[in-house]
Amino acid sequence: MTEFFQNSVFFGIVLTFVAYGIGLLFKKKLKWAVFNPILIAIAIVIGVLLLCRVEYKTYEQSAKFVSSLITPATICLAVPLYERLQVLKENYKAIIIGITSGVLTSLLNVWAFALIFYFNHETYVTMLPKSITTAIGMGLSQELGGYAAITAAVIIITGIFGNMIAEFVCKLFKITEPVARGVAIGTSAHAMGTVKAIEMGETEGAVSSLSIVVAGILTVIGAGAFAQFL
C-alpha cells in the first residue's frame, strides 16, 4: 500500500478532495459549526497517512497542485464584491475604519501575547500575519524572518476557528448590520471566514471579500512596523 501511494501521481489530490467531500457531507447532515469541512478533511488526511505509514513529503508531492488553487479561489471572491459595489460605496468610511481597527487589534494582540509568553523575534513575526490570507501571509512571514510553514498553519487555524464561531459571535453580541458583520469576519478570518459570510448573506460576503484585500495590504504595512517592537 505504501509503495502504491509513493508511485501514484494523483493519490494526494484524490485523498484531499474525497476527505473534503466527506467533511461537506458531515456539515450538511449534522449542521453543527464544529463540523467544519476543512477541519474534518485535515483529520481524515492525517489519519490516512498515519494508518498507511505514508510520509508527508510523499503526500505533498502528489497534492501540491491543490495549493495552486488558493490564489484563483481568493480572486473569485471579487464576484460578490462587484455585485454589491453600490453598498460598498455608500459605507466606505465605516468599512475602512472597521478594517483598520481590526488589523490593529490583531497586531496588538500578537504583540501582547509575545510579551506575555516571551516569544523570540522569529516566533513573534511568524504570528503577525495570522489573520490574512495564506497567499500574502506566508510571503510576509518569510520576508520578516519568520517560519512560513508555521505561519500557514496558524492562518489556517485562524480561518477555521473564525468560520466556526463567526455566526455565534454575531448573535452573541447582537451584530445584525450586514456591513459590520462582513467587515468583522473578513478582517479576522480571511477567505475561510468569507465562506461563512457568503452563507450568511450576499452583502456580508461582498464586504468580507473587500476586507480580505484591504486587511492584507494594511497588515503588510503594519506588520513591518510591529516587527520592530520585539
Q: So what's the pLDDT on residue 6?
A: 64
- CB of 77 within 8 A of CB of 194? yes
| Strand, helix or coil for residue 123 | helix
SS (H, E, C) 83-109: HCHHHHHHCHHHHHHHHHHHHHHHHHH
Look at residues 163, 106, 93, 173 and name the one whose alpha carbon lies nearest to residue 137. 106
Residue 84: band (very low, low, confident or very high) from pLDDT cuts 50, 70, 90 = confident
**pLDDT at residue 116 tops 90:** yes
Q: pLDDT (tens digit, 9 = 90+) per residue, 5-39? A: 666 778 888 999 999 999 999 888 887 777 888 88
H/E run at residue 75: helix 70-75
Q: pLDDT (tens digit, 9 = 90+) per residue, 131-189? A: 998 888 999 999 999 999 899 999 999 999 999 999 999 999 999 999 999 999 999 99
Distances (CA, A) of 171 to 81, 147, 174: 24, 36, 5
End-to-end CA distance of the chain: 48
Q: So what's the pLDDT on residue 95?
A: 94
The residue type of 192 is: M
Per-residue pLDDT, averaged over 191-206, amounts to 90
pTM of the model: 0.84
